[in-house]
Amino acid sequence: MIIKICYGAPDAPVRFAARELRRYLKKIDPAREAVILRAQDGEITGGLTLRIDPDAVPVPDHTLDDAVMIDVEDGRGVIAGVNARSVLIGAYRYLRELGCAWLFPGEHGETVPRGGLNKTVRVREAASYRHRGMCIEGAVSADHIRDVLDWLPKVGMNGWFNQFMVPFAIYDRWYRHPDNPGLPSDTLTIGEVDALTKELDTEIAERGLMLHSAGHGWTCEPFGIEGTGWEHKDYYVPPESLPLLAEVNGQRGLMYGLPLNTQMCYSNDAVLDRITDAVTARCKENPHITYLHFWLADGENNHCECENCRDTRPSDFYVRYLNHLDAELTKRGIGTKIVFLIYSDLLWEPQTEKLNNPERFVLMFAPITRTYATTYAEGFSSEAAELPDYTRNRLTMPRTVSENVARLRRWQERTEVGDGFIFDYHFMWDHFRDLGGMKISRVLFEDMKGLDALGLNGMVSCQLQRAFFPTGLGVSLMAAALWDKTADFDTEAERYLRSAFGADWRKVSRYLTRLSELCDPAYLRHERPQVDKTAVSSFRKAAALAARFAETSGIHADADPSGPWGILRASAEYAQLVLDALIHKAGGGDRRTLAAKWRKLAKWVRENELRLAVALDVYYFNRTMKSILLRDDMVLF
């Protein structure tokens, strides 16, 4: 029997959805032929029709928000979306209802059932949140990003953030392999990386993903200073730009030798005009950008102390710059949305300035120093939070959830922006502190469910693109909760683990849950004393647990080494090496032996990097786990 896949709208994501349906339906039931037909006039009887219907499900904005309507029986019916991207998301949702699962990016994370297509699927849903995206971070290849872009709509995500003017450092970390001398080292130029990223624009457009762009770099690139990463080297500062840099401790120059961490003298009109011209040009030259991020410099306690700057809060300067930018974009007829960042020193709200045109802007809240020991729901009582006054370049960044949220509340009251999202870091560093991945997954899931209580409309996750070790549960559950804020953790976790591990899913769930409990992420965050006999006992139990699991999971030794079972088995080996070092550290062991245990762990990771490349970012493992094991003070990043 032939399955007819019909579409009428010429939009690229709809055509792509038709091709994807044909490809996967053939995998599910190879005995049935699937053909794609262009419906010129309405639906084709007896087919599976894809269509854009802005009225299929009520949403606030049918171009920015997503909703799907599916009514299919035995391969016949309708898959509709309120926009072309939603049609693609709806096609994947239909396939998920048939049993397909995309556990992590790439072909190794895909499971497709074999069988008939006679299931009835009826779905009518709007996404709970508008913003459901990921931001490039870590160490990546172009193929890694291509796989991520392909994966996002499969799990209901709709946005991609290509951070930086050119994300050179992020690609360079992979191609050069600075942490693994056993792999070939390729040196790319900034131009070559720019070309790689522009090639990916086709993948983004084909899926209708909303594109976020820029962020870092506005305080250096417009002034002739390279702003592509945090590598310490000899950066060139044009003589005419030096007087425009922030004056700190009586000197103007690069903060810590890093352009990206150097603020400007924001009272200087030359700085205002140069940055405004650069942002405007970026918008004009790239109309395909949905959201252009305009941020100040990275870091903290680095703002200008000159007599014209020191009495004005950075956030007041920031809003002044945003208003100036809006006026210029409006004059030129450019409608690009501008994302502004509440982060570091900018957590302290403006005192005098307000946005003139809030509709132009989207608020982005980035609580980079928060603890992941508690969720927003558990810890956000803004009334109880003590809010220190602003003191220029003498600030202590907030750790508690309550203080971070209180800072957000003050900004929201001041700016009255109608749209906003969180930019959080659950899978940037903290997942390395949870060997089972279950505690951080639950925190992330619950955080997403509660975003509306924060007055935010979604999440762009600043995270490693390869953060699926020991499983992809956390990132997948993030996507599930962003689509449906009423989702239940246990139900979604079971669905994921069943798809990944089949009949053994309960055994895996018990193992990972117990491993998370025994490994105590709070200890690895340095939120507890680092010499602790109780921790030693827990780590010994965890090591024995991981050893037993590695042995009993050997029945899956013939599974794909880069698939769910292969990655999980490898993570049990990894956990034993980490725990061996933690037992020594928590027991007060000597530093030399601890360093040797670290080297043994790092050697194992380097030797397995290519096998685990889809799941484990070795560059960030090296920096995060080394800090956890070899330093006694708290290291966030």
* Structure confidence at residue 2 (pLDDT): 84
Left, alpha or beta for 299 (phi > 0: left; psi -120 to 50: alpha)? left
* Structure confidence at residue 65 (pLDDT): 98
Residue pair 341/299 in contact (Cβ under 8 Å)? The answer is no
Q: How confident is the model at residue 74 (pLDDT cuts 50, 70, 90)?
A: confident
Q: Which two tokens stand for residue 85?
A: 């991207």
| Mean pLDDT within 531-537 | 95
CATH of 131-497, one of 3.40.50.10490, 3.20.20.80, 3.30.40.10, 3.40.50.150: 3.20.20.80
* Structure confidence at residue 32 (pLDDT): 85
Give residues with Cβ within 8 angstroms of 29, minimum separation 6: 114, 115, 116, 117
Q: Which two tokens stand for residue 395?
A: 């600030």
The half-sphere exposure of 446 on its side-chain side, counting CA atoms within 13 A, is 16
* Structure confidence at residue 45 (pLDDT): 61
Dihedral angle sign, alpha carbons of residues 621, 467, 465, 562: positive
* Structure confidence at residue 75 (pLDDT): 86
Q: What is the pLDDT of residues 417-475, one digit of tens each?
A: 989 999 999 999 999 999 999 999 999 999 999 999 999 999 999 999 999 999 999 99
Q: What is the pLDDT of residues 388-427, one digit of tens each?
A: 999 999 999 999 999 999 999 999 999 889 899 999 999 9
2-125 and 131-497, same CATH topology: no
| Mean pLDDT within 104-128 | 93
Q: CA separation (Å) from 398 to 202, 387, 408?
A: 40, 9, 12
* Structure confidence at residue 444 (pLDDT): 98
Q: How confident is the model at residue 485 (pLDDT cuts 50, 70, 90)?
A: very high
* Structure confidence at residue 246 (pLDDT): 98
Q: What are phi and psi of 121, to 5 degrees?
A: -125, 120
Taking the domain 2-125, which CATH number applies?
A: 3.30.379.10
Residue 541: count of CB within 10 angstroms of its CB: 16
* Structure confidence at residue 450 (pLDDT): 95
Q: CA separation (Å) from 138 to 38, 355, 431, 471, 492?
A: 42, 34, 13, 18, 27
| Mean pLDDT within 494-518 | 97
Query: Could you tell me the residue ranges of all domains in the chain?
Result: 2-125, 131-497, 501-630
Of 327, 326, 325, 301, nearest to 314 (Cα)?
301
Relative to beta strand 210-215, strand 291-294 is parallel
Residue pair 393/301 in contact (Cβ under 8 Å)? The answer is yes
- CA 89 centroid distance within chain: 19
Among residues of the chain, what percentage have pLDDT more than 90?
89
Does the pLDDT of residue 385 top 70, yes or no? no
Q: What is the pLDDT of residues 180-215, one digit of tens each?
A: 999 999 999 999 999 999 999 999 999 999 999 999
**With b meaning 16 or more CB within 10 Å and e meaning fewer, what string describes 414-449?**
bbebebbbbbbbbbbbbbbbbbbbbbbbbbbbbbbb
- CA 201 centroid distance within chain: 18
Q: Which two tokens stand for residue 331?
A: 């004059």
Tell me which of 58-72, 260-274, 492-506, 549-563 is least confident.
549-563
* Structure confidence at residue 9 (pLDDT): 85
Residue pair 126/490 in contact (Cβ under 8 Å)? The answer is no
Does the pLDDT of residue 43 top 80, yes or no? no
Residue pair 421/362 in contact (Cβ under 8 Å)? The answer is yes
Give residues with Cβ within 8 angstroms of 401, minimum separation 6: 367, 370, 371, 374, 375, 376, 378, 379, 380
* Structure confidence at residue 41 (pLDDT): 52
Q: How are the residues of the chain apportioned to helix, strand and coil, as percentages rounded to the nearest 5?
A: 45, 15, 40
pTM of the full predicted structure? 0.95
Give residues with Cβ within 8 angstroms of 312, minimum separation 6: 266, 267
* Structure confidence at residue 583 (pLDDT): 97
Q: How far apart are CA 321 and CA 319, in angstroms?
A: 5
Three-state SS at 286: coil
Does the pLDDT of residue 383 top 90, yes or no? no
Dihedral angle sign, alpha carbons of residues 428, 433, 437, 441: negative
DSSP string, 62-77: TTTS-EEEEEEETTEE
Cis before residue 470, ω within 30 degrees of 0? yes
* 268 class by beta-carbon count within 10 Å (0-12 exposed, 13-18 middle, 19+ buried): middle
Please give the single-letter amino acid code of residue 441.
S
Q: How far apart are CA 291 and CA 489, in angstroms?
A: 31
Does the pLDDT of residue 634 top 50, yes or no? no
The half-sphere exposure of 249 on its side-chain side, counting CA atoms within 13 A, is 8
What is the enclosing helix (H) or strand (E) of 506?
helix 505-519
Q: What is the pLDDT of residues 576-620, one digit of tens each?
A: 999 999 999 999 999 999 999 999 999 999 999 999 999 999 999
Q: How far apart are CA 467 and CA 475, in angstroms?
A: 8
**H helices present in 387-472, as ranges:** 401-415, 438-449
